[in-house]
Structure 1
Amino acid sequence: MIIAIDGPSGAGKSTVATAVARRLGFHCLDTGAMYRSIAWKAIQQGADLADEAAVGAIAQTFDIAFEHEEGDPRPSRVLIGGDDVTAAIRTAEIDRSVSVVSAHPSVRAALVEQQRRIAEGGDYVIEGRDIGTVVCPNAEVKVFLTATNEARARRRVAQNAERGVGSVDFEEVLADIIRRDELDSSRATAPLVQADDAVLVDSSDKTINEVIDAICAMADARA
């Protein structure tokens, strides 16, 4: 079974996907980490992030791999071309860069191919921005997880503080979330939209457990 969780930045997709996967005994596929890895590699190579040909060539050249610890649905390490980028892709610089990189059609085509190949290997909770619309349009469960801009900014600040990477300035994070929403929703290829058959879940005033319970109930009903 595939559970697709789409939604904007800071909606809690990663946290929810991990908890749902752990409860159901599924694996997690963090597609955002894949785009972040390409952004990191492009910056390391000195590529112009707006140059689709250059960034697309990187996405087509380098495989992204995930390593797991037994019993943990979320990868413990993210690697691109053998480089461990687990922490490096969670910086403010990558936050600012990833939407530009992910808007390139050639990058999306290369990574969608990798994502589908990984998903074919078992039961997955997959979170991103175009999972239910492009990557896995036949997913058995589709959720569009969202929240207010302010709620998402508060969560991202707390997450960055816990990880020790990324900005912890609320206004800066809020502005970045609004900017990323605009970029993700207006791009020509695979924009951020709710799939017609996805269930909208607004987590602004819900506890994490309420959101998890709702998604697990959907999976149980389909199973």
Structure 2
Amino acid sequence: MTVQIITIDGPSGSGKGTLAAKIAAHYQYNLLDSGALYRLLGLSLFQRGLLEHIEANLAQCVEYATHLDIEFKIASNSTQTFLDGVDVSQTIRTEQVGEYASKVAVIPELRQALFERQRAFIQVPGLVADGRDMATAIFPEAQAKIYLTASAESRAERRVKQLQGMGLDAKISDILFNIQARDKRDMERTVAPLKPAEDAYIIDSSTIGIDEVFQLMVNYIDTCIAK
């Protein structure tokens, strides 16, 4: 039986996480939040005092990456994320943990360890995978490939609202700076840089709402999985 795979790639703050959860719920598919994997690994290494010493403890870090105890649950079109049985959904969305993830993502050995973890999410009836290199590196065989983008300014505004909704302080100038820096780092890295797959359906959500983007995605996906 062929497992249907839908990939949703794009830069930080484009809304791909929220929409991936909605798409997974709509089709009743499994969900992979690959960005959360890197955040979870970064958080785990930080908690163990290894984040600033990855190169010196590479074998140990790879071992942790290979055996991360993680689980994703969809609840009301949002995603709950668990590390070692503890709900860390809000913790991993902080800017600090985002920086942890960036340190992890540039190390090829850790990316390879997480590659195997991500491929293991291919299970019936289907998979929705959200990230930055899902279509180009992890699931090139995906039947539906979406690249969701938006201007850095609109993404910064959304991120501020998200953080404020979580009760966290947020300054838009700092968020915008971080987003632009992360975009540059993601697009220029030598391993699996952020870019659309050649056959991706590109959606710019800068000026349209989540419901309209969701409908565009569903229309496209229905065409792909009907082939």
Q: In the alignment, which residue of structure 1 is the partner of 2:57?
A: 54
Is 1:132 aligned to 2:135, yes or no?
A: yes
Give the 3 Å change call, closer, same or farther, for CA 50–181 of structure 1 in structure 2: farther
TM-score (norm 1): 0.90
1:31 aligns with 2:25: no
- Given that 2:22 and 2:78 are in contact with CA atoms closer than 8 Å, whether structure 1 keeps it comes out as no
Please provide the CA RMSD for this pair: 2.1
Work out the CA distance in 1 between the residues paired with 2:99 and 2:70.
23
Q: Name which of structure 1's ranges 155-164 and 138-147 shifts more when overlaid on structure 2.
A: 155-164
1:148 is matched with: 151
Measured in 2, the distance between the counterparts of 1:88 and 1:56 equals 26
Whether 1:164 and 2:167 are equivalent positions in the alignment is yes
CA distance in 1, matches of 2:164, 2:59: 32
Q: CA deviation at 1:30?
A: 0.7
Q: In the aligned structure 2, how far is the partner of 1:170 from the partner of 1:32? A: 22
- Residue aligned with 2:190, SS: coil
User: Which string of whole-angstrom CA distances, capped at 9 and with x for unpartnered residues, describes residues 107-140 of structure 1?
Assistant: 1111110111012343121110000011100000
> In the TM superposition, what are the counterparts of 1:185-204 in structure 2 within 5 Å?
185-204=187-206
Alpha-carbon separation, structure 1, partners of 2:51 and 2:81: 27
Rounded Cα–Cα distance in structure 2 between residues aligned with 1:45 and 1:102: 18
Deviation at 1:217? 0.9
Unaligned 5+ segments in structure 2 are none
What TM-score, normalized to structure 2? 0.88
CA displacement at 1:187 relative to structure 2? 1.1
Aligned counterpart for 1:87 among listed residues 87, 90, 95: 90
Task: Show structure 1 runs of 5+ residues with no match.
Answer: none
Corresponding position of 2:99? 96
Whether 1:176 aligns to 2:188 is no
Tell me by how many angstroms 1:164 deviates. Answer: 2.7
Task: Verify the 8 A CA contact 1:3 1:142 in the aligned structure 2.
Answer: yes
In 1, the alpha carbon distance for the partners of 2:209 and 2:76 equals 22
2:82 corresponds, among 78, 83, 89, to 78
Closer/same/farther in 2, CA of residues 77 and 51 from structure 1, 3 Å limit: closer
Q: Which runs of 4+ in 1 moved over 6 A?
A: none
Cα distance, 1:67 vs structure 2: 4.7
CA separation of 1:126/1:67 partners in 2, compared to 1, >3 Å: closer, same or farther?
Answer: closer
Q: 1:73 to 1:28 in 2, by over 3 A?
A: farther
